[in-house]
Amino acid sequence: MSRVVAVVLILLGLWGGVRAAPAGSPRPAGDEATVVRAALHTHTRMSDGLLSPMELVLLAKRRHLDVLAVTEHNTIVAALVARAFSGLVNGPVVLVAEEVTTRDYHLLAYGLHETVTPRLRLRDVLKEVHRQGGVAVAAHPTKRYWAAFEPNLAALDGVEVVHPMAAIPESATSTFRWSDMVAFYERAAVKGTAAIGTSDYHAFGGLDRALTFVAVSRWPADRGERAGLVLSAMRRGDTATRAPSGRVFGAPTPPAPQPALTRPPPAPGETALGMCGLIGVALLLGTGRRRL
């Protein structure tokens, strides 16, 4: 019985996240420099997320996002599916990406043509990402990942500095502290590394709780060209992001207008329905454990 309740709550959460938001209109093409809104760290149900790649594209479209990177753990397949679907529905530009996930580091890699294996040392993963013409970003670089990242600082194109962890109270003993991510970003940013902010999206609402604002030199009609311009801007460090506290990291050119740096208000019911979904997942995990 509680399993039925859990499934109903999860469905409500999914509906709240995907359907409750107002439909977005695509940004018109233009030759002038502009700042686009990007969700650069998302998961689907191909690993530990809840939405299919198609639902994720629809959610991003409804939240008026210009760019969506699908960064599934150790595979680019979800991103390829999302890119094909987004082209059909005139959704956001999808970057083909992956979160290379190992015990020692997580690395966000964008602009890939092939999946990058996590069985390599970070130094060799970075070489492979760049060989494919991609962009490499240190994912949530808390202290436990520093040993892998520190010797490879020069090869990182960006650092994820805003993450859901930014909203979690810190304890002195925790190894997952947002302040450590900020400290790492500040060391890396000396050489102009891109500031990346994400919601590390897995389920329900909140896809755009944290975004990266990317300054592109123009916004052509061609989707492939758009993706190329976003990747170039990330390589140049022309990005900015805003923490829940209001602190802004990075400095894109031209400067992002302040309204662009704020999140539109959640759609009516999005937060409450998202909570329903989380309770449903907790219930389901609870019943699963009892059966073991």
* Residue closer to Zn ion (CB basis): 142 or 239: 142
Helices (H), the chain: 2-19, 53-62, 77-89, 122-131, 143-149, 178-188, 223-236, 270-291
Other CB atoms within a 10 A radius of the CB of residue 185 amount to 23
Nearest residue to Zn ion, by Cβ distance, number only = 106
Least distance to Zn ion, CB of residue 2, Å: 29
Point out which residues pair with 136 in neighbouring strands.
Answer: 109
Least distance to Zn ion, CB of residue 38, Å: 15
Residues 86, 56: contact at Cβ < 8 Å?
no
> Please, what is the end-to-end C-alpha distance for the chain in angstroms?
17
Point out which residues pair with 35 in neighbouring strands.
Answer: 215
Interface segment toward Zn ion; rule CB under 5 A; list 13-21, 139-147, 174-182, 268-276: 139-147
Pairing of strands 67-70, 93-101: parallel
Interface segment toward Zn ion; rule CB under 5 A; list 78-86, 130-138, 193-201, 212-220: 193-201
Least distance to Zn ion, CB of residue 47, Å: 9
Least distance to Zn ion, CB of residue 228, Å: 24
Residues 110, 232: contact at Cβ < 8 Å?
no
Interface segment toward Zn ion; rule CB under 5 A; list 31-39, 44-52, 137-145, 164-172: 137-145
Is 106 a binder of Zn ion (CB under 5 A)? yes
Q: Which residues contact 29 (CB under 8 A, 6 or more apart)?
A: 219, 220, 221
Residues 66, 69, 75, CA angle at the centre, nearest 5°? Answer: 160
Binding residues for Zn ion, total number by CB under 5 A: 4
Least distance to Zn ion, CB of residue 106, Å: 4
Is 163 a binder of Zn ion (CB under 5 A)? no
Least distance to Zn ion, CB of residue 138, Å: 10
Interface segment toward Zn ion; rule CB under 5 A; list 135-143, 150-158, 223-231, 247-255: 135-143
Alpha-carbon distance of 63 to 177, in angstroms, equals 28
Interface segment toward Zn ion; rule CB under 5 A; list 19-27, 134-142, 177-185, 280-288: 134-142
* Residue closer to Zn ion (CB basis): 152 or 217: 152
Residues engaged in binding Zn ion (CB under 5 A): 99, 106, 139, 200
